[in-house]
Chain A
Amino acid sequence: MYCMDDGKVLVNLRKGVLEPCVLALMRDGERYGVDLAKTLVTAGLIASEGTLYPVLARLRSGGMVSTRWEESPAGPPRRYYRLTPAGEDALRVFARVWAPFSTSVHAILTGESA
């Protein structure tokens, strides 16, 4: 018998929204990977910081983000991520679909739908 708990719900929900959320965090400018990871862990969108990097690798392979290296005085060079035009398009599409979708889910869960 399928048993639903908080962990399983979170795992399933994260799958659909993680990539768009990563893109959204770069909307205002390029971001350092470690900072992105910490932001997403704090927001509860990833369970551990290392989970982010396979997502970033997929986004780069898919042409959604580009990267550049920058020397760091306090350690190894840092890789910064920024949205590509394709990434901006993907983010726009997700935001357009997400708004009515989340509204519908909320309405159904709270019994506000007709």
Chain B
Amino acid sequence: MSASTSTPMPLGEQLKRRKPIVFREHHHPGEELGRGLTTFQLMMFGVGATVGTGIFFVLSESVPEAGPAVIVSFLIAGLAAGLSALCYAELASAIPVSGSTYSYAYHAMGEMVAVVIAGCVLLEYGVATAAVAVGWSGYFNELLDSTLGFEIPASLSTSFIPGDDGVATGGLVNLPAVVLVFLCMLLLLRGATESARINAVMVIIKLSVLVLFIVIGLSAYNADHFNDFFGSGIGGVTAAAGTIFFSFIGLDAVATAGEEVKDPQRALPRAIIGALIIVTCVYVLVAIAGIAAKPAEFFGTDEAQSAGLSQILNDVTGSTVWGTVLAAGAVISIFSVTLVTLYGQTRILFAIGRDGLIPKKFAEVNPRTLAPSFNTIVASAVIAVIAGFVPSDYLWDTVSIGTLVAFSVVAIGVMVLRRTHPDLERPFRIPGYPVTPILTVLACAWILIKLPGITWAIFGIWIAVVVAFYFAYGRRMAALNHVSDLEEIAESRGDEED
């Protein structure tokens, strides 16, 4: 294709234009990708990436919506996440380029879809970083209180915007969350990376404190708390599933590792389903332990809003020791979650910048630090503002909506690609086609329609802004407009491992 045109391309054609798949002829030296990962390792990788994104905070948001039936909400969200991950895995294996959902969409479904997905993914990672930072702030304050006996005052640790209930917060800015985001920014600017080993340590910390919570929570088991199990109705259960969906983000990380396993066709679904089962079990047990220990009404209180799990442990044991241990574990591991999510955000911006849909400046690498500095600073600044001023109530639903829409598009993309490119080599083909992708879309749609109106409004405005920006900027500046030699847009395969 030679798209080196002086006259602009017809709009319809450009919106449908797909980025061709070209690989660099000269691969970077270094070992070729070892297909070394076993199914078990991959599964643990998925567990590590997933556990901890939301479970430390999500009960206080979802239990008021669903009551004790929040357990069912976890199952629904898990099912949707698992199906989505399977679809994602097929798309990732059919298009072996580096990147995220955005990159796959650009190659498979064209520029317009890619732009929308870019909006969704930026929302997913950007807002998730902010949400996690806000949650961290709560546990950090709890830890300060129980170890040093003082707290950062509410005016400096809560946003001034009232939450869902509309009650004034008495806050100004969530300073700890802002500071956390900037700390992570400094680490990324210095080119710091979190290695597989640190990640393993973090996973152990996260799982240990969750097991601690489950054991202590169940010791205070009170069956009365499960009365009126479905009191909030199916609507409440689905709404809670939407909020909870956020805590399954990370499962898709398994999907992009298809290149690294020996037999993707067998290993990928096993790893995804295995990770899903482990994660869902942990989450459901945490939910059961939480509800067993405390009546559903407790989760709606201000006390439960920040550092909810710690509070429950304190109340159950009558001592602050275990709550402090849990808060310490949360503070350490959520720090790493924030770092990794922020990192993901910068690299996605990098990919979009490289394609010219946002200014190329986002794809520049600082030759001194070998890290994309400009990109990291801009992304961190925006996220810090969100973390500082937006209450968590709005954040989690917003992350979920972005992710759910992106995953629905992925599932549709799998079906589209099967029809348009039936001969494409697919190391992993989704089992149960076409039922599985259809089921994925339905599951995502079911959760989506129950998300609150304000979330839809935020999402709609954001996507409108993204699309408007595309027409104002990206449409003219897209790298594909100026390609004369395909090597220019060639990319490395997504096959690194350290």
Do A and B actually bind? no
Show the binding face of B for A, using Cβ within 8 Å: none
Binding site for B on A (CB under 8 A): none
